[in-house]
Amino acid sequence: MNVPQLGLTRAYQERMGRFTDRFNLFQGAMAQFMYLLYLPMEKSFKVMQEKLEALTGEEGLPEDSQAYYRMWVKILEGHYMTLFKSSEYIQVLGKTLDAMEDFMVAKHEMLQDFVQMLPVPTQKDMDGLYKELYLLKKRIKQLEKNRGAAGSKGLGSTLGGDVSLIGNQNGVSSLSGQNPRN
């Protein structure tokens, strides 16, 4: 059920609700997948029990415990090969992986909300910083290219003073053509 959230924190509440929902769906899909993986074990135990009953009545039980183990592993491998080739296994595996992907996306969104409250830069902040750094490098290259074409000396003379990095209101550095000595 998708109940709309109210208030100033509704976006956070929606992400937390989506995270909880995706977690529950992932747990259900994982339980179904684990059950499917358990079925060959159950079948092999039943087959092994029947074989032991047949051996007890006919020729007697082998003395070597390794013989039991090899017999059980051979039966188990056959059941797992049958399972891995089945379409049901592929469908359940696909459903589990899809549910896990949805859960991981919802978890990432929720963690981003928590990280925003901490005094550390988020991935979004770092992306903005990298973009600004790229644009600054691009501008410096262009200015150097213009300086080379004009034949003047020094980047500072092109800008009319010393080139310095000065923090702007966002705390991010940007180029300034002002002479700091004036």
Residue numbers in the chain where pLDDT is lower than 50: 155, 158, 160-182
Three-state SS annotation for the chain: CCCCCCCCCHHHHHHHHHHHHHHHHHHHHHHHHHHHHHHHHHHHHHHHHHHHHHHHHCCCCCCCHHHHHHHHHHHHHHHHHHHHHCHHHHHHHHHHHHHHHHHHHHHHHHHHHHHHHCCCCCHHHHHHHHHHHHHHHHHHHHHHHHHHHHCCCCHHHHHCCCCEEEECCCCCEEEECCCCCC
The ranges assigned to domains in the chain are 10-120, 127-176
pTM (2 d.p.): 0.60
**Interatomic CA distance for residues 12 and 8, integer angstroms:** 9
Asked whether 165 and 172 are in contact (CB, 8 A), the reply is no
* pLDDT value of position 1: 57
Q: What is the pLDDT of residues 164-173, one digit of tens each?
A: 444 444 444 4
pLDDT, position 179: 44
pLDDT of residue 117: 82
